[in-house]
Amino acid sequence: MATIAQESLPPTDQAFRVETHGIDHIPVSERWARPRDVGAMWAGASIQVEYFIYGAVLMTFGLDFAQAVSLILIGNLSYFLLGLASLQAPQTGTTVFATNRASYGPNGSRLISLFNWVTQIGFEVEGLILIVGAALVLQAKAGFAGGDPAKVIFVLVAVAIQGVLPFLGHATILKTLRALVVPFLVMFAIMLGFAIPHATTHGVAHPADWQTYMEGLAFVIVLSGLGWCENGNDYTRYCPPDTSKAGIVGWVFLGTAVPEILIMLLGASVGTFFVKVGTSANAFLPFIHQSYFPAWFVYVFLVLAIAQLFAINSLDLYSSGVTLQALGAPIRRNQAVLLDCVLAGTVTMVAIFNTSFNTYLKDFVDLVIVWIAPWFGVFIVDWWMRRSRYVPAELQRTDRGGLYYRTGGVFWPAIIAQLVGMFAAIESLAATFHLPHWLNLVTYHTADKDGFGADFSVFLGIGVAALVYLALAWRSVRRQADAQDRLLAAATPD
């Protein structure tokens, strides 16, 4: 794969130097990235241990192996959504939630930015829980018993380390994740060799019912493409405006869906015989006493898993930092990273003493679906109605004179569509926590004899919000699209 020389990168975005840009507009003269660079970064983020664990957790739903395979294949098609949600930044030159000001208004977008900021911290906590879990298993295998003090120390050390890459910024993250592709491909290939003799397609006597299948589909979609959509443009804003849209979608899909399908299939196959990986409070704990993998491989696996988890957390921290800026926090991007590290570390400290990873993951997925599915529907429909373009300078404005300011800085059709879409998502959510029947009617009325209903939250969340926004905003947004065209025609290239 071709690489770009360090000296050819703009001084504002060089590997292992602090990036100076946040949500501000990236001048065309500093746009150095190509679709293949973005795809390589996503590949480094996808060939990693979290997806292995997701595959193992999927087998705990009561699915047979054939059902799990079909869910992994279908669910990962959602990476096309990530590709679509990465197409705006080459034209706007800014991040997701600066662009989001056009559809929700600069003040209305703060609400969605808050949802995303909390979500990114949640994903950071997930990564930290796994890092600490892997460190505790390494400690146990080395013959030490640190107990609760060791958990605290590991959390503090992990928080300090995980902030390094996102503090430095975009080019550093891209370079590091790209470098991790090969060692992890080798590690998972070796694991596959050890797993094949033990894997079985007969771990469950009967296929799960369709209600359970739909719940599994929602689980895979959110933890694959849909769950990254709110980050997509953060990593394509260094692409020039004339970058091929098909190239971006293609490279993003190639770098994400293909490796994740393979890694999740490996996790699911391991989950057919090594069930405790998907059910344990610490997903790595079963590796202490097991006979499936040699001891030397377990050490290598855990050490590499920790390194990869730090790298993947860097994406969440980076995006949470620029999202905090979009919220209106008067701090630089790297300062926001430090603040998020402290918050994620605090939540992790609580989580590792109070819940299991499996429970945390399923509860978290439910909460993410409720807001992100409607947001994606509004965001993509708005972009389409604007003929796939915005006015970059106006996205940076949050004052009353800005093109996108609307009424009090809020575009109410988008807020209404978001709330209606969230209600639709909740009504059709097969939640791990109890919801009253009146707030969960679709799931309640599709329940099987054991009381478990189907999950249509992703589809209704996106679809209802998109249709409501289309109906409420069509005339207004199309008029504004005409105004955009006039401003863009009069603007001079930066």
Residues with Cβ within 8 Å of 148's Cβ and at least 6 positions away in sequence, in order, are 353
pLDDT over threshold 90, residue 88:
yes
- Lowest model confidence (mean pLDDT) among 68-72, 100-104, 329-333, 425-429: 329-333
In contact, 63 and 213? CB cutoff 8 Å? yes
- Lowest model confidence (mean pLDDT) among 66-70, 248-252, 359-363: 359-363
> DSSP state, 434?
-
CB burial of 56-76 (b: ≥16 within 10 Å; e: otherwise) equals bbbbbbbbbbebbbebbeebb
Q: What is the pLDDT of residues 261-270, one digit of tens each?
A: 999 999 999 9
Confidence of residue 13 (pLDDT cuts 50, 70, 90): low
Q: What is the pLDDT of residues 41-63, one digit of tens each?
A: 999 888 889 899 999 999 989 89
Instruction: Pick the closest to residue 266 from 442, 401, 69 (CA basis).
Output: 69
Tell me the DSSP string of 393-431.
Answer: HHHT--STTSTT-TBTTB-HHHHHHHHHHHHHHHHT---
The radius of gyration of the chain's CA atoms, rounded to the nearest angstrom, is 22
The predicted pLDDT at position 312 comes to 86
All domains of the chain in start order, with CATH: 18-367 (1.10.4160.10)
Residues of the chain with pLDDT > 90, as a percent, come to 62
Find residue 407's DSSP bridge partners: 410
pLDDT over threshold 80, residue 206:
no
pLDDT over threshold 50, residue 1:
no
Q: What is the pLDDT of residues 402-423, one digit of tens each?
A: 999 999 999 999 999 999 999 9
The predicted pLDDT at position 281 comes to 79
In contact, 99 and 87? CB cutoff 8 Å? no
Q: Could you give phi then psi for residue 240, rounded to 5 degrees?
A: -60, 160
C-alpha 345: how far from chain center: 19
Alpha-carbon distance of 467 to 479, in angstroms, equals 19
Residues of the chain with pLDDT > 70, as a percent, come to 94
- Mean pLDDT, to the nearest integer, of 377-399? 97
Q: Identify which has the larger pLDDT, 272 or 250.
A: 250
pLDDT over threshold 90, residue 482:
yes
Alpha-carbon distance of 116 to 120, in angstroms, equals 6
Residue 344, amino acid: A
The predicted pLDDT at position 7 comes to 47
The predicted pLDDT at position 379 comes to 98
Confidence of residue 204 (pLDDT cuts 50, 70, 90): low
Alpha-carbon distance of 320 to 58, in angstroms, equals 27
| Other residues' Cβ atoms within 10 Å of the Cβ of residue 376 | 25
Instruction: Pick the closest to residue 114 from 349, 328, 309, 258 (CA basis).
Output: 328
- Lowest model confidence (mean pLDDT) among 96-110, 118-132, 227-241: 118-132
Instruction: Pick the closest to residue 425 from 364, 361, 372, 363 (CA basis).
Output: 372
The predicted pLDDT at position 360 comes to 67
Highest mean pLDDT among 58-72, 303-317, 345-359, 460-474: 460-474
Residue 196 vs residues 71, 117, 199, 258, 460: alpha-carbon distances, Å: 21, 40, 5, 20, 39
Q: Identify which has the larger pLDDT, 289 or 202.
A: 289
- Lowest model confidence (mean pLDDT) among 58-67, 76-85, 175-184, 348-357: 348-357
